[in-house]
Structure 1
Amino acid sequence: MQRPFYDSIPFPNTPPPPSIQPPQPNTPSKRRSWLTALVLLLLTILTIGLYYFLFHRSHYLYDHLPCRHDDEALVLFDLRTNFNNRGWGNAADKADFDGLGNYYDLVHQEQPHTMKIGTLDFCLQVGERVDNLVPWSSSSEKTTLILNEVDPSLYLGAVYLLVAANHGPLPSIKITAHYHDNDTPFGIDHTTDLSVPDWQAGHLHQIRHMHMPCTANTGATAAMYAVPIYVDPSRSLRALSLPNNKRLHIFGATGITVPSSWSSQETGSSIRIIDAQATFDNMVKVRVHNVGTKPVGPFRVHIEQHGYKTVQVLAPGHWTHVVLACQPPGERHMTLRVHAGGQVATFPVEFPSTIDKHEAPQWLQDAKFGIFFHWGVYSVPAWAPVGQEYSEWYWWQMNNPNDPTYAYHRDTFGEDFNYDDFVHAQGLANKLNTTSWLELVDDAHARYFVFTTKHHDGFALWDTHTTDRSIVNLGPKRDIVNELITAARHDFPHLKTGLYFSLPEWYHPQFDGSDKGWSGGPPRNPYTGKEIPYTGYRPIQDFVNELQVPQALELIDNYQPDIFWCDQGGFNNSTIWQEHYFAKYPEVAVNDRCGNEFSDFSTVEYHRSSATSNRFWEATRGVDPYSFGYNRATPLDKYASPLELLVELVDVVATGGNLLLNVGPDETGRVPEPMTSTLRDMGHWIAPRAEAIFNTTLYWLAPNGQDMDHGVRLRFTVGQQQSLYMFVIVDGDNGELPKELVVDVPLPLPLARIVSLPHRYPVTWSINTKGRLVIYNIKDDDTGGDEHNIWLFQLITANPPLPWSQ
């Protein structure tokens, strides 16, 4: 058991009693004076000690640490008896944070014993032999971190841990809160499922968690992260249990007490303003936490001299982000006074203006679902071995004698038919109607689209002045990019536009592909080895600065895309066009494939992420089982079903990302079946459930959902009015929906009601003796049973009006 904190309570120094002459023998009056003075001294000490015990416990009972703080609502826990690793150091000591001899550099830390993140204070034990806890034990599956063994009268509305991971990130760390009343009938624990970023994670300004930049011994930027752990404000927290993990490090723990002595519940003071951060596009993200025992709302989050938003309800122990528009003056530095629920906090902020601080605009994070169009010269042969290769890589694959495409091309078109000859195909683009493409985006209820302006074969689909290798000069002689963007802006102004751009060109004579292991140009006939022309080539000396960068600038200036979607990276000078792009259009986004270190979101393709990312991300895949370009070899029954794609959409959105779903039109420009019907089926399902998908955030307590027995999975999103949405997904082949669905995830209690969507039928539910939600008879007609084996429920937190609500 951890040593009680009472053993080291520091009491204020008390002046010694006045000098007293030694008592004379047989003088009772002097003896009485001595005894009186001694009693008064003892009473004084006792009174002072009792005062500090009753009114300043948060300062003296728990945080007897080498740093002080002035916020009486905070409890800074003493974790020193748990520490077993040294992460802070310098060249003279033996700090080793990551097992490789690397560490946080003490030399560059101005206040080595204090770390302030937002309105939270953390104490650090730097300079000690050990300064953090790595929860690892060979004899147990969990490590118990005792926070409050001795005082069951201490109630906390929130706990934040100061953490980092080595060799991270750690995508799913489950930390459980234990209480003093766990032996009662309702004595249940609560588990928070959180992700912990790597201590040297890139794109720090885009990390979901609050953080403090530091410096590693190598000179690299490092950071520590403040992560929230759910605790029930109506119960006294005793301990946290941590999973065994050698890569997790805990440097500090700070609690926020339930409002009682430090504030008045009637004034709405249970709302704690935690942090405010400015963004590149002049938005401010305010984090507020309800540390009281009752739901709060509606209440305003307001920035003086700027805007406000109303939060309808915030459950006890829960937090949320509120994003507000804020127009800074000419100076990018300013001080913001933020009001929320009767509380006020001041934050000095700097509105970023350099590309290394750019991030995905809010509209993109809210959009959730986009459609990708892959179409080009590769759509003429349109072939690849099914489920193995991308058809848009046809030219590359036909140059490999060991690839099936090599034999397919020879047998179908002959050895003398070069890839560039496909640009003259009679059917190329002869049925291409960009308006019909955009109608399909609308039918799918997607919010944006991305189109391939140039793939790795180097054929530009717009009127470029950098080369003659374009379908404006060759083949159909049409500017497809201009047609598409013009139609979108004129007839579909609600859709955001995106342009895909390949940085490399496989066989351009001046392209250097050595960094990717590519041979580069000029192209050769794969069967004879003879050099062949690179159709439309204009001689240049510098591929990057005479072709790649000018083409990117053409697309940006001529079409003003909302998203610039790079591919392949490689040798580049992308900073040139990115600086121009962000300065001219702040609310745009670029992905992470532009070859340099600057991007607004990460991407994965044909890979379902198994856990939450610490950064905004986008998953992309096709309706085809494994191709973006149209593949004529794919049987109809191999295409993804609407159910499969809807499940992936829900998975991605629930973990904080967007899904960019691809279709590949054929050579004529027509989107073939079953792609069109699949998108329309998805749109039919999405439309009446839009509130649970678009403009939502992940559920901070369970971003990875809950996987149950019998092929049933739960996924959660949080809507704009703090409603919690729960998707119940049943495996179409092996899933079996139970009659009573028990939800183990902590929920925003108390609940007022639960309804099924889209019909808003009332649902029968209860909270069982273990404090878990139980939903009954889901398959009944009145629960809105779903043809796609996905059920959706809205959980609405009880919201009693408070007298101070605005």
Structure 2
Amino acid sequence: MTDQQDLERIAAVIETGPYSDTWESLAAYEVPRWFAEAKFGIFLHWGVYSVPAFGNEWYARHMYVEGRPEFEHHRATYGSQDEFGYADFIPSFTADAYDPDAWAQLFREAGAQFVVPVAEHHDGFAMYDSGRSRWKATAMGPQRDVLGELAESVRRQSMVFGASSHRAEHWWFMNGGTLSPSDVLNPATADFYGPAQSQAMQPNDQFLIDWFLRTIEIIDTFEPQVLWFDWWIEQPAFEPWLRKIAAYYYNQAVRWHRGVVIQYKYEAFRPGTAVYDIERGALGGIHPTVWQNDTSVSRNSWSWIEDHDYKSADEILAELVDVVSKNGVLLLNLGPKPDGTIAEPEQQLLQTIGRWLGVHGEAIYGTRPWQIAAEGPTEQRSGYFTDSSATRYTASDFRFTSRKGVEGEFLYATALDWPADGQLRVASFGSNAGLVGGAVADVTVLGHSGELAWSVDPDALHVTLPADRPSSFGVTVRVEVAPAEPGKRRTGFHL
């Protein structure tokens, strides 16, 4: 099928609706319930950039930029860039230990509900059997459809499969190699490194159509329920193509009978037409619609490198609890090694998260924001890229979630540390705060089934915590709310 025939086929799908490629039509989109309730997913940056394992996943660009540490490292380790270029790493990207079933089992044990591997990063190497490029994992390196295999394994574990596209940035990503001797302008590899144009220029029609059709190819081949985009799609040249992608994707999802999610940064999509994503970030309060924080287990790289600055499990769990309290979802990134193994520290982080969710998942999965997101003295920065250093929370810092069902209403307060004296005080649940909306009928600590002493007075809910901690991070109290009885102060010693 020619590009023109493919474009006509796509236009026919858009024309038959129910979504058309206008922002007004796309505003009818609704975030699917599965995503709003999932709360936690796994992101994967795995590709040729995992081979040099130096700096970060932008090695493909930085190795050609004079003055960058990667430039000098490359020359000292592999030789000059015109003798050993980025493409020469591909044979070492073997994936010979890649076991997608083991990956999926690990992600499921971690409590993840969806998985989003990178289909193609800025470097231009497709991790699937693309019909639009010879530079792909099925023909070079692993010589396997690593994306397709993972899709099957993830779905067998009853998780939702998604994919991310970082192709837009390839317009300029390799342009450093045009300024000094390198293989970037070699005719034999021009279809891999190109266009290598200036970032100051908008992409031309040839690039835009190819980018568009590569995106449609991912949709058609894998039927992902998450489609994640990096930031450069906010350039004006992409705008009409984004509307077409959204209309096509949403229309196909109707035919699949599945709810899907497009994730974007900054202002690439109109509010309400897709899901807003904040890279390594946080919000100051509850967002009116479901949003996402994509972050990584490491502060200094999204891909495998030798000297990761790993976050602790407590830091990641604090991010998860904070995001969920503000109507968000956490997408946590890992970076497998070039042979397909996941580093032991990253496995341990996931296993710790999974154990915590096994105890506290009731306060996370399927919950909704409460009237307020937080209480406590610790100030948290909001916006993009706020995770450069760990925030030190106290036992007086809480994040709230809620749940309504046939059993009644439950409120959850997760303290981001364990109080040294074993006494928990939640001011927002005090009767004078006027937030609970009824009497406190019962209080329990998640993970504890024994007796618990608690009381409510005008100033706070007071809870004497059990001697044995249910988990290593924080503590969650569940409050059952009953209709208020005027003038009655609740106190008790309850099971």
Aligned residue for 2:278?
604
Match of 2:85?
A: 418
Match of residue 704 from structure 1: 374
State the distance in 2 between where 1:704 and 1:767 align.
19
Shift of 1:677: 1.0
Determine the C-alpha separation between the residues in 1 that align with 2:36 and 2:461: 32
1:446 aligns with 2:112: yes
For residue 531 of structure 1, the aligned residue among 185, 202, 206 is 185
CA distance in 2, matches of 1:707, 1:656: 21
Which residue of 402, 406, 411 maps to 1:718? 402
Output the CA distance in 1 between the equivalents of 2:187 and 2:335.
Answer: 28
Larger radius of gyration between Structure 1 and Structure 2? 1
Q: Quick check: 1:796 aligned with 2:470?
A: no
Read off the aligned partner of 1:532 and give its amino acid letter.
Answer: N
Using the alignment, how far apart are the partners of 2:279 and 2:51 within structure 1? 23
Q: 1:606 to 1:600 in 2, by over 3 A?
A: same
Give SS of 1:696's match.
coil
Alpha-carbon distance between aligned partners in 2 of 1:545 and 1:660, rounded to the nearest angstrom: 28
What corresponds to 1:242 in structure 2? none
The whole-number CA distance in structure 2 between the counterparts of 1:687 and 1:376 is: 32
Matching residue of 1:501: 165
Alpha-carbon offset, residue 619 of structure 1: 0.7
Check 1:443–1:469 CA distance in 2 against 1; reply closer, same or farther (3 A cut).
same
Seen in structure 2, the aligned counterparts of structure 1 residues 405 and 367 have a Cα distance that, compared at 3 Å, is same
Q: What's the % identity of the aligned pairs?
A: 25
Q: Is the 8 A contact 2:65 2:176 kept in 1?
A: no
Q: Does 1:728 align with 2:412?
A: no
- Confirm or deny: 8 A CA contact 1:765 1:773 kept in the other structure: no
In the alignment, which residue of structure 2 is the partner of 1:102? none
Aligned mates of 1:660, 1:397 — CA distance in 2 = 26
Inter-CA distance 420–646: structure 2 relative to 1 (3 Å threshold):
same
Pair 1:542–1:534, CA change in 2 (3 A): farther
Match of 1:565 among 228, 237, 247: 228
* Aligned equivalent of 1:400: 65
Give the Cα–Cα distance (whole angstroms) in 2 for the partners of residues 529 and 560 of structure 1: 36
Deviation at 1:580, TM superposition (A): 1.2
Are 2:261 and 1:589 equivalent residues in the alignment?
A: yes
Q: TM-score, normalised by structure 1?
A: 0.49
CA distance in 2, matches of 1:536, 1:438: 36
Residues 585 and 604 of structure 1: is their aligned pair in 2 closer, same or farther, counting only changes over 3 Å? same
Unaligned stretches of 5+ residues in structure 2: 1-16, 196-203, 379-392, 430-434, 485-495
Q: Is the 8 A contact 2:128 2:148 kept in 1?
A: yes
Selected match of 1:434 from 90, 100, 108: 100
Q: How big is each residue's C-alpha offset from its partner over 1:145-187, in whole Å with a ceiling of 9 and x where there is no partner?
A: xxxxxxxxxxxxxxxxxxxxxxxxxxxxxxxxxxxxxxxxxxx
For residue 730 of structure 1, give the secondary structure of its aligned residue in structure 2.
coil
> Offset of 1:703 from its aligned partner?
1.9
Q: Which residue of 2 aligns with 1:212?
A: none
**CA distance in structure 1 between the partners assigned to 2:423 and 2:414 by the alignment:** 16
Per-residue deviation, 1:532 = 2.8
CA distance in 2, matches of 1:462, 1:647: 34
Q: Deviations over 1:277-323 (max 9, x none)?
A: xxxxxxxxxxxxxxxxxxxxxxxxxxxxxxxxxxxxxxxxxxxxxxx
CA 1:537 to 1:789, structure 2 compared with 1: closer, same or farther past 3 Å?
closer
SS at match of 1:716: strand
Amino acid paired to 1:663: L
Are 1:692 and 2:363 counterparts? yes
CA contact (8 A) 1:696 1:718 kept: yes
SS at 2:441 equivalent: strand
Query: 2:49 & 2:113 partners in 1: Cα distance?
Result: 27
**Matched residue, 2:7:** none
Q: Is the 8 A contact 2:290 2:327 kept in 1?
A: yes
Residue matched to 1:767: 456
Match of 2:246 in 1: 578
1:430–1:501 CA distance, 2 compared to 1 (3 A): same
Q: For residue 742 of structure 1, report the CA deviation from its aligned partner.
A: 4.5
Instruction: Give the CA deviation at 1:411.
Output: 1.2
Q: 1:740 to 1:465 in 2, by over 3 A?
A: closer
Alignment match of 1:747 (pick from 436, 445, 466): 436
Correspondences of 1:353-368 after superposition (within 5 Å) = 354-368=25-39
Question: In the alignment, which of 343, 350, 371 is matched to residue 679 of structure 1?
Answer: 350
Shift in Å at residue 447 of structure 1?
0.6
1:706 Cα offset (Å): 3.5
With CA pairs under 8 Å and 6+ residues apart, which has the higher RCO, 1 or 2? Answer: 2
Q: Deviation digits for residues 76-124 of structure 1, max 9, x if unmatched? A: xxxxxxxxxxxxxxxxxxxxxxxxxxxxxxxxxxxxxxxxxxxxxxxxx
Q: Map of 1:474-489 to 2, 5 A cutoff?
A: 474-489=140-155
2:490 maps to which residue? Answer: none
CA RMSD of aligned residues (A): 2.9
Q: Shift in Å at residue 751 of structure 1?
A: 1.0
Tell me how far 1:434 sits from its aligned partner. Answer: 1.1
Count the aligned residue pairs: 421
- Offset of 1:496 from its aligned partner? 0.8
What residue number does 1:615 align with? 289
User: Structure 1 residues 558 and 436 mapped into 2: Cα distance closer, same or farther (>3 Å)?
Assistant: same
- 1:536, CA displacement in angstroms? 7.4
For the residues of structure 1 that align with 2:176 and 2:187, how far apart are their CA atoms? 7
Amino acid at match of 1:503: R
Q: Could you report, residue by residue, the CA deviation over 1:30-88 in whole angstroms, capped at 9, with x for unpaired residues?
A: xxxxxxxxxxxxxxxxxxxxxxxxxxxxxxxxxxxxxxxxxxxxxxxxxxxxxxxxxxx
Matched position secondary structure for 2:27: helix
Question: In the alignment, residue 115 of structure 2 is paired with which amino acid?
Answer: F
Counterpart in 2 of 1:459?
Answer: 125
Q: Deviations over 1:175-200 (max 9, x none)?
A: xxxxxxxxxxxxxxxxxxxxxxxxxx
CA deviation after TM superposition for structure 1 residue 684, in Å: 0.9
Q: Give me the whole-angstrom Cα distance separating, in 1, the residues matched to 2:321 and 2:442.
A: 23
Report 1:160-309 matches (<5 A). none
Measure, in 1, the Cα distance between the counterparts of 2:362 and 2:43.
23
Counterpart in the other structure of 1:76: none
Partner SS for 1:364: helix
Measure the CA separation in 2 of the matches of 1:497 and 1:698: 25
Which has the larger share of helix? 2
Q: Is the 8 A contact 2:177 2:183 kept in 1?
A: no
Query: Which residue among 626, 632, 635 is the counterpart of 2:300?
Result: 626
Return the offset for 1:658: 0.5
Structure 2 distance, partners of 1:566, 1:627, is: 18
The whole-number CA distance in structure 1 between the counterparts of 2:289 and 2:180 is 43
Give the letter aligned to residue 795 of structure 1: V
Equivalent AA in structure 2 for residue 707 of structure 1: P
Give yes or no for contact 2:359–2:470 (8 Å, CA) kept in 1: no
Q: Give the Cα separation in 1 of the matches to 2:478 and 2:374.
A: 18
Q: Distance in 2 between matches of 1:482 and 1:403?
A: 35
Offset from partner CA, 1:701-753 (integer Å, 9 cap, x none):
x123333796530111102432001111228xxx7556352424532331111
Q: Separation in 2 of the partners of 1:505 and 1:561?
A: 21
Unmatched 5+ stretches in structure 1: 1-330, 333-351, 385-390, 801-806
Residue type at the aligned position of 2:246: Q
* Residues 360 and 522 of structure 1, relative CA distance in 2, 3 Å threshold: same
- The correspondence for 1:645, drawn from 302, 306, 316, is 316
- The CA distance in 1 between the partners of 2:150 and 2:187, in whole Å, is 30
How far apart, in 2, do the equivalents of 1:496 and 1:401 lie?
42
Pair 1:600–1:607, CA change in 2 (3 A): same
**TM-score, normalising length from structure 2?**
0.78
Distance 1:534 1:499 in 2: 29
> In structure 1, what residue type is equivalent to 2:67?
N
For 1:371 and 1:395, the matched residues in 2 are separated by 24
Query: Do the aligned partners of 1:383 and 1:394 also contact (CA within 8 Å) in 2?
Result: yes
Q: Post-superposition shift, 1:397?
A: 1.5
